[in-house]
Amino acid sequence: MKYGSVRRPGRVAVVGVGIIGASVGWNLSRRGAEVVFIDAGLPGEGVTNWSFSWVNASNKTVRRSYFDLNVAGMTAYRELAEAIGPDSWWYPSGHLRWADNPAAEARLLQTAELLADWDYRVEMCTGAEVRRRLEPALTMPDEHPVVFYPDEAWVHGRHLVDRLVGKAVASGAELRSGTAVCDIATSTNGRTRTVALSDGNRLDVDIVVNAAGPNASHVAGLIERHLPMRREPGVVTRLDCAQVPIRRAMHAPHIEIRPDGDTSVVLHSREIDALIGTGQDLAELAQLLHESARHVVPELDAARMAETRVSNRPIPADGFPSVGALPSVPGYYEAVSHSGITLGPAIGQLLAAEILSGKRDEMLADFRPERFCS
């Protein structure tokens, strides 16, 4: 990412220190900006730590500009791994996907064909080839078609956030965790000036970046901005294993599975998400996830359920990111998106460049905050 001419942005408050906020703040700090991170909890412990954490563009084909932005996110990850080192957070081992009924399989193969036409790397395998070459612990029919996306990855989001925030703080950034933003006061010309925190402190700032994830609508409301958000809760469970039997993220029928280090596995399912709020408690949802997973990976039968959590995905109302300046409120920027894991480093680069140069990148043209202004 070329920054071109750089202006001094003054003091920047980054509200929310998940993967997007950490990426924005790190990119600003390393370019000389004065950054203060603010988070009601601990950095990386919210949705970033409780998502499937799958870096991809294969699931983002609904709009070509959105696909291209996610491809840029994948590229930004490779650059980031070179810049800060890949250890403990970066796992570029590819992604497997297959279906168990004709209609779902037809959609899967149609998407794979589209992606190949868009120059996205796709490999077609059989179940037997996958077990022999990639994942011997899986159960699937020998002749079953499986799509392998070799350029995709998973990340340990909390570890990456810790790394980025640590590097930013070492460069002079300030971290205020365990305190929420409760008010944003503006000067008579509308430019952001003072951020009031729940611990009683008040910060004089020139710029606010709203990267507050599921709480982004509340933060926007503090400047009388309406940011419409969907409410889509998701349930994720972690299993403890003596040894993790798989190496890469996968979408199997009815269940998503990925490693989470050497002794842990993460499970998620959209089908189980649909049961949230229907009367089943968290332990029952976790048990359903575990049952689905061990049908695919029998070795997970002996794994122990460690922790399960429901979190709300940060999804603007139309499903697409809201990134960039809001022209009606000088000094206020949004960085709000589902797929924050994939898009975090790219949004960090693009938004930092916009703040520092004042120039808008065409890649964000379809995702500007003002599209929600009435």
pLDDT tens-digit map of 159-186:
999 999 999 999 999 999 999 999 999 8
pLDDT tens-digit map of 17-65:
999 999 999 999 999 999 999 999 999 999 999 999 999 999 999 999 9
Mean pLDDT to the nearest integer, 213-235: 96
Closest CA to 76 of 26, 33, 135, 119: 26
Distance CA 172, CA 39 (A): 17
CB atoms within 10 A of CB 130: 20
Residue type, 147: V
Mean pLDDT to the nearest integer, 127-146: 97
Q: Are strands 255-259 and 249-252 parallel, antiparallel or unpaired?
A: antiparallel
% of the chain with per-residue pLDDT over 70 = 96
Distance CA 57, CA 242 (A): 32
Among positive and negative, which fits the CA dihedral 84, 90, 93, 96?
Answer: negative
Distance CA 172, CA 185 (A): 25
pLDDT tens-digit map of 302-346:
999 999 999 999 999 999 999 999 999 999 999 999 999 999 999
- Is 125 in contact with 149 (CB distance < 8 Å)? no
% of the chain with per-residue pLDDT over 90 = 94
Record the tokens describing residue 138, joined without a space. 């899986």
Q: Is 63 left (phi over 0), alpha (psi -120 to 50) or beta?
A: beta
Record the tokens describing residue 244, joined without a space. 């993790």
Q: Which residues share a beta bridge with 194?
A: 185, 204
SS (H, E, C) 217-262: HHHHHCCCCCCCEECCEEEEEEEECCCCCCCCEEEECCEEEEECCC
Helix or strand holding residue 351 (H, E): helix 340-357
- Is 364 in contact with 323 (CB distance < 8 Å)? yes
Torsion (CA) 315, 319, 320, 324 in degrees, nearest 10: -40
Q: SS3 for 283?
A: helix
Q: How far apart are the first and last CA of the chain?
A: 33
Q: Are strands 54-55 and 153-155 parallel, antiparallel or unpaired?
A: antiparallel
- Give this prediction's pTM: 0.95
Q: SS3 for 329?
A: coil
Distances (CA, A) of 99 to 92, 104, 289: 23, 6, 17
Q: Are strands 95-97 and 249-252 parallel, antiparallel or unpaired?
A: parallel
Record the tokens describing residue 320, joined without a space. 């697409």
| pLDDT over 90 (residue 218) | yes
Of the pLDDT bands very low, low, confident and very high (cuts 50, 70, 90), residue 189 is low
Mean pLDDT of the chain: 95
Q: What single string gives the DSSP state of each residue in 65-88?
A: HHHHHHHHHHHHHHHHHHHH--TT
Distances (CA, A) of 337 to 334, 340, 369: 9, 5, 11
Record the tokens describing residue 362, joined without a space. 């065409």
